[in-house]
Amino acid sequence: MDRLAAVVLAAGLGTRMKSEKAKCLHRAAGMPLIWYPVKAAFDAGAEKVVIVVGHQREAVQAEVSRLFPERAIEFVVQERQLGTAHATVCAADSVAGYDSAVFINGDLPLLTGKTVTSLRPSPTSDLEPLVGPTGSDGPRRRPNDRRPGAHIA
């Protein structure tokens, strides 16, 4: 089987939660939300798990390290929260060299390793990557977003 890496996106502000606490640290069924996608990634056989952190990164890193003390997890910092596409780009170098990578939101308590496994293309699959490098013309701006740096990959 190919070498799998997983990126868990956990840098967002979580403004819809109306809480000072980072969204991925809120609990569901007794566990922080971040536990579910990280566990699912490992259950799916990810050799490497990268977590993109930003808002309250020290608290998120401490909690993940407490939850998975025996696992090597890399943390990548998204200094400015410019959206999901930008967080994905922040982690791209960390998963270079792997045969496939899955990008997972950090707040999915119903995600399982089986679901992550089902996202992996089979050796006979003609599926194109869901997230890939930008074309030769470089990144494109989101149609309605005029902020500097508001590009999609």
- Which residue among 16, 57, 140, 142 is the active-site one? 16
Rounded Cα distance between 124 and 50, Å, is 27
Tokens 């699959």 correspond to what residue? Answer: 125
Would you say 61 and 36 are in contact if contact means Cβ atoms under 8 Å apart?
no
Name residue 19's amino acid.
S
Closest-CA residue to 103 (of 70, 132, 127): 132
* Contacts of 150 by beta carbon, 8 Å cutoff, 6+ apart: 82, 83, 141, 142
Catalytic: 71? Answer: no
Residues forming the active site: 16
